[in-house]
Amino acid sequence: MGSQPVPVTLVCQLEMIARGFLAAARFLLALSGGWTSAARWQRQVLTRFNTDIDLYVPRGTSVGTVVFVHGLSVLGHRDPRVEQLGGALATAGFRAVIPAIKSLRELWIRRDQPEQIEQLIAAITSDEELVPGGCCALMAVSFSGVFVLRAACRPAVSARLSALGLIGAYADVNSVCDYLVTANRADPYGYLLMLRSYYAECETPSARFLEALERCIEHSITESEAGSFEGILDASHPDEAQLIQLIADPRARADMGRRIRSVFDADWRDYEAPIESLQLDVPVFLIHGRDDRVIPVEQSRDLADRLDVRGVVNRLCVTRFLSHGDNRIRWHELLEVLRVWCAFAWFFRYCQVSAKRRSE
């Protein structure tokens, strides 16, 4: 008797898995600078929905579209790390759509921010020029993961999604707040941004206090390892002395943490990750740096647990190749490279247009 033919669906699945591994290899090589990727893609700059959008397009045939939401960064979509990611996605064969988001570039946390970014994501995913074929994956980094999760809860958006990819995201905003306020190893950047947004929306401090706080934020961006700000603040001035106390005094920090948490429970409640409302048919990829000092790795572990309870297919990869927004792929660590490669291959398998799981 002759051999039985292999089912077409199985052949398609095997092809998607193979393409996922190939895309992941190209992506990691480009992301680490090991592959000159610029010749393999071009960047177009568009204006849609009152914002600039960078579109990274492969020179060959695109296998899918990925919409990426950048984090709290003054350079936003033009942060070199974001540009590198866009180029790496295009090198892997994907159209990368990366909008500039004003409030994130201005480092704000505001009550209206989640809804505004959610609406922007919904508009982008429904734009046929940006997302040909009406299907895409969503990616976000750090704090912006919540905006992608919120958008994915909308049935109209979810119907167009092939997958979600979250880099260093959080599961519970209050526990992240507690970590940034109380943990000695926490990067001061996150706490300072929460302070800035809290005072902008909830209190009216002096101009001198706000100017000193801005100075501390700029210092934390350029000197990420710095633990003290006394050298750039004037302790003889009452307003700056108050800020020194909020930064250096554990009791003052703990009290401020309680005040910030109360805002996250009220006006900022939309920053809670809405796992219970997430659609069940959108797989979620989580990757987190083992030594992340802004959002601790336990947050992605908790997020994976909550996705399991919800019944959402997900994959978690914890790696020492990431910190917070930076990658340091060391190719001689073969087992770690293999783990990260397999994890991205899993995600890219779903990102392909042919992997769309919607009834037409």
Q: How much is the pLDDT for 229?
A: 80
Q: How much is the pLDDT for 224?
A: 57
* Helix H or strand E segment including 162: strand 161-167
Q: How much is the pLDDT for 8?
A: 52
Nearest Cα neighbor of 94 from 136, 154, 142 is: 136
Q: How much is the pLDDT for 227?
A: 58
For the chain, residues classed under CATH 3.40.50.1820 are 8-171+275-355
Nearest Cα neighbor of 216 from 238, 245, 236 is: 245
Using a 10 angstrom Cβ sphere, with 0-12 exposed, 13-18 middle and 19 or more buried, the burial of residue 239 is middle
Per-residue pLDDT of the chain in tens (360 residues, 90 and over written 9):
455 554 557 777 788 889 999 999 999 999 987 665 567 899 999 999 999 999 999 998 999 999 999 999 999 999 999 999 999 999 999 999 999 999 999 999 999 999 999 999 999 999 999 999 999 999 999 999 999 999 999 999 999 999 999 999 999 999 999 999 999 889 999 999 999 999 999 999 999 999 999 999 999 888 755 556 878 999 999 999 999 999 999 999 999 999 999 999 999 999 999 999 999 999 999 999 999 999 999 999 999 999 999 999 999 999 988 776 666 777 778 899 999 999 999 999 999 975 444 434
Tokens of 53: 């959008």
Q: How much is the pLDDT for 1?
A: 45
Of the CATH numbers 3.40.190.10, 3.40.250.10, 3.40.50.460, 3.40.50.1820, which one belongs to the domain with range 8-171+275-355?
Answer: 3.40.50.1820
- DSSP character string of 43-102: EEEEEETTEEEEEEEESS---EEEEEE--S-TTGGGSHHHHHHHHHHHHTTEEEEEE--H
